[in-house]
Amino acid sequence: MKIKKGKLLIDQHDKNFMYGGKFGGNFVPETLKKPIDDLTKLFTKLRKDKKFLKERDECFKSYVGSPTPFIKLENLTDYLKGAQIYAKVVSEANGGAHKIYNATVHCLIAKKAGKKFIVGDTGAGYAGKMLSMAAKKFGLKCKIFMGAKDIKRQRPNVEAMKKNGATIVPVTTGSQTLVDAVSECMRYWVSNCDTTHMCVGSTVGPNIFIKICAWSTAQISRELFIQVKEEFGKIPRKIKLLNCVGGGSSAIGFWNEFMDTDAEFVGIEAGGPKNSNLHAAPLTNGSKIGILHGAAQYVIQDKEGQIGSTESISAGLDYPGISPLHCFLKDTKRARYTSANDEEALKAYQLVSKLENISPSLEPSHAFHEAIRLAPRLKSSEVIIVNSCGDSIKDKDIIKQKLGSYKR
Amino acid sequence: MNSKIAKTFANCKREKRAALITYTVAGDNTKSNSLKILNTISKSADILELGFPHNTPIADGGQIQESSHRALKNGIKLKDVFKIVKEFKNSNPDKPLILMGYFNLIYQSGENNFLKNCKDSGVDGLIIVDLPYPENKKFSIKCKKKSIDFIQLVSPTTSDERMKKILKDSHGMVYYISMLSTTGGKLKVAPKKILQNYNKIKNINRSKNIVIGFGITDKTIAALKKADGLVVGSQLCKTITNSLKKRLNTAKVLNKMVYKLKKKII
Ligand SMILES: Cc1ncc(COP(=O)(O)O)c(C=O)c1O
């Protein structure tokens, strides 16, 4: 299994839409074949359409806010006395996270497809919040599926969705988290695919959704590539790009432009509570390949193929599967994956928000833990960049409960 | 034409009626009870579909999810499913039984191993919800080699060109999904319109047995009785749920329901 140079990762699949012959595909009910096919044709056309690209860039610039800041974390670097630590503060994008890129592009596509309704799933609530924001901007009626457990633990984002006029459908089946929200959203699309556009909130699901999402979040590394060159005069040889992975959309977007460089990619999964067998880290813990939400991927499951339970303090990472793109990056050894547990993520959050002017949400705090662990072992000539892809404000209830107080 | 499924359709045709196909979930609500249900309803049902439950079923509505959940909570495993099939087939050797489920369970047990178990227990056909055409090409050939009917699905969104290809690759039986819906949805398309689509498919190849499923209940079944076969699933799962709530004998209640359904199409 090999990655080709000079070709976008999302396009490195075979005719069955499989990456490395093993990951991805379209394992969907017959009813979705045509809508997926239509969407694939439309997207293939749009991504070559100069007018569409201009529209997208204009949206990214004036609506999303591009570029998001690239800053050196001087205090954290001084404190750890090792590698230089930087952050790409993607949480400064409109809405507070990278989910805005995918949401915006999906709304643009839905308009081109002549659809008036849009549906999406959400875990941390960011994907839902952003979709509701973008839908409002583009005049689409929006419905969001969200696990009942997540509705409780991500209140600020739920409020935002409501304010944007979206209908929130609480999902009460299974674990009542992201995995169930995605399932329920797909079921809804099966029944309404003639009138409704579906947005999958991460680089998971049938192939076209992986493609659209990764193509959208690639904006992050397009900006970063320029910012890194400006900062260092070139792309440094010893550079590590650290990103948390739930479904994997922020990480893919963060790494895309650096694919053919020497940059090292580290993906950090959610290790779950310290003293628990439950986690959301299929790559780190050697889960087997299985089929979830229409795609073959490493997925937490039992021997029979029943999808396994997960647990994580961060709703955004609390998902049993992982993008087929990351499975591909892992098996080709282009990226390496590890995990941080709940306690480590909380501690990292605490340290970063104490020393620096940024306040990462619990998802990127998993990546910051790895940065904090690695930095002291590296030379000061080495560079670590963390994608700070979400803001802690959405986690204020959890943080208050765990640490006694929350300041922002 | 020597499969039990084909023979059953031929018999029904001789009797000038549609085949009644039931769907229940293996292990709902217990292993022994689901076997008892199969044995009982097979008096009225022509073909039995048996679901092997998955906990992330992306094409199933509430009723079948609930049945699957009950079965999994009771610890049903694939080996139990095959045991149920085998025991059923021991007492009903000529009654066709079709397993229905999601691909991940087959993927984990290995395609060849799964098919061997199907063969050994007496499974006549397979419906895999999330293995569409052309992804199912290889698997469907494997099924054919084992004389197991691989049942292709077509839906209102299937284009004419695709429909022709699917029918060409299909075995004896093809499943037409009546409307854009998961299982358990209310019939939102007029039966006349459904039969129109059905006839379109039928006209591509009249030798295929086309069955209609999704949204079929005792209220809607009569209007569709011109089809080769009709599948009732969610209503049976819901009936099990309700009879469990009322602490009734589920097999008995289900038997009555299936008998009633049968009466409506003969
Ligand atoms: C802030 C944040 N980071 C990361 C994630 C994980 O998703 P992904 O791996 O697709 O970036 C989420 C998902 O909700 C999120 O809200």
CATH of the domain at B91: 3.20.20.70
- CA gap A141, A167 in Å, rounded: 9
B176 burial class (0-12, 13-18, 19+ CB within 10 angstroms)? Answer: buried
Question: Which residue of chain A has the CA closest to B114?
Answer: A304
Q: Are residues A299 and A204 in the same domain?
A: no
Beta carbons of B70 and B105 less than 8 angstroms apart: no
Residue A262, domain member (yes or no): yes
- A184 shares a domain with A290: no
What confidence tier does A79 reach under pLDDT thresholds 50, 70, 90?
Answer: very high
Contacts of A35 in chain B (CB under 8 A): 157
Q: Same domain for A323 and A377?
A: yes
Are residues A258 and A373 located together in one domain of the fold?
A: yes
* Band (A267; pLDDT cuts 50, 70, 90): very high
Same domain as A108, residue A127: yes
Asked whether residue A379 is assigned to any structural domain, the reply reads: yes
On whether both A276 and A389 belong to a single domain, the answer is yes
pLDDT at B221: 98
pLDDT the model gives residue A408? 84
Kindly state the percentage of chain B with pLDDT values over 70.
100
Same domain, A396 and A322: yes
Quick one: pLDDT band at residue A148, thresholds 50, 70, 90?
very high
Say if residues B17 and B265 touch (Cβ distance below 8 Å).
yes
**Do A42 and A112 touch, CB atoms closer than 8 A?**
yes
Quote the ipTM score.
0.97
> A193 and A241 in one domain?
no
Q: Is residue A4, in this structure, part of any structural domain at all?
A: no
In which region does residue B205 sit, left (phi positive, over 0), alpha (psi from -120 to 50) or beta (all else)? beta
Cβ–Cβ gap B104/A190 under 8 Å = no
A297 in any annotated domain: yes
Angstrom distance (rounded) from CA A296 to CA A289: 6
pLDDT, one tens digit per residue, over B203-247 is: 999 999 999 999 999 999 999 999 999 999 999 999 999 999 999
Boundary of a domain, candidates A190, A214, A238:
A214
Q: pLDDT tens digits for B225-235?
A: 999 999 999 99
Last residue of a domain, one of A179, A198, A214: A214
8 Å CB contact of A193 and B158: no
Give bridge partners of residue B173 from the DSSP assignment: B209
- Residue B10 CB neighbours (<10 A): 12
Identify whether residues A154 and A290 lie together within a single domain.
Answer: no
- DSSP characters over B182-237: -TT----S-HHHHHHHHHHHHHH-TTSEEEEESS--TTTSGGGTTSSEEEE-HHHH
Domains held by chain B: number? 1
Q: Are residues A243 and A330 in the same domain?
A: yes
Q: What is the pLDDT of residues B44-59, one digit of tens each?
A: 999 999 999 999 999 9
In a domain, A352, yes or no: yes
pLDDT for A239 equals 98
Contact A46, A236 (CB under 8 A): no
pLDDT in tens, A102-121: 999 999 999 999 999 999 99
Catalogue the active-site residues of B.
Answer: 49, 60
- What pLDDT score was predicted for residue B102? 98
Same domain, A259 and A363: yes
Domain encompassing residue B177: 4-265
- Percent of residues, chain A, with pLDDT higher than 90: 99
Name the E strands within chain B: 19-25, 47-51, 97-101, 125-128, 149-150, 152-154, 173-177, 209-213, 229-232
Provide the domain count of chain A. 2
Answer yes or no: do A116 and A27 share one domain. Answer: yes
Residue A67, classed as helix, strand or coil, is: coil
Domain endpoint, select from A159, A182, A214: A214
Give me the residue label for tokens 């193509």: A215
The answer as to whether A12 is a domain residue is: no
CATH number of residue A52's parent domain: 3.40.50.1100
Within a domain: A6: no
Half-sphere exposure of A393 (CA within 13 A, CB side): 14
Mutating which of A15, A31, A192 best tests the B interface, going by the most B Cβ atoms within 10 A?
A31
State yes or no: cis peptide before B92, omega within 30 of 0.
no
User: Is A11 part of any domain?
Assistant: no
pTM assigned to the model: 0.97
Q: Assess contact for A219 and A60: CB atoms under 8 A.
A: yes
The domain in which residue A388 lies consists of 65-96+219-403
Q: Enumerate residues 6+ apart whose C-beta is below 8 A from A256.
A: A8, A9, A214, A217, A218, A220, A221, A222
Tell which residue, A373, A366, A355, A405, has the closest CA to residue A388: A366
> Terminus-to-terminus CA distance in chain A, angstroms?
46
pLDDT tens digit sequence for A292-312? 999 999 999 999 999 999 999
Q: Which residues line ligand 1 (CB under 6 A)?
A: A 97, 123-124, 126-127, 202, 244-251, 316-317, 361, 363-364, 389-390
**Residue A195 near chain B (CB below 8 Å):** no
Burial of residue A234, with CB atoms counted within 10 A of its CB: 0-12 exposed, 13-18 middle, 19 or more buried: exposed
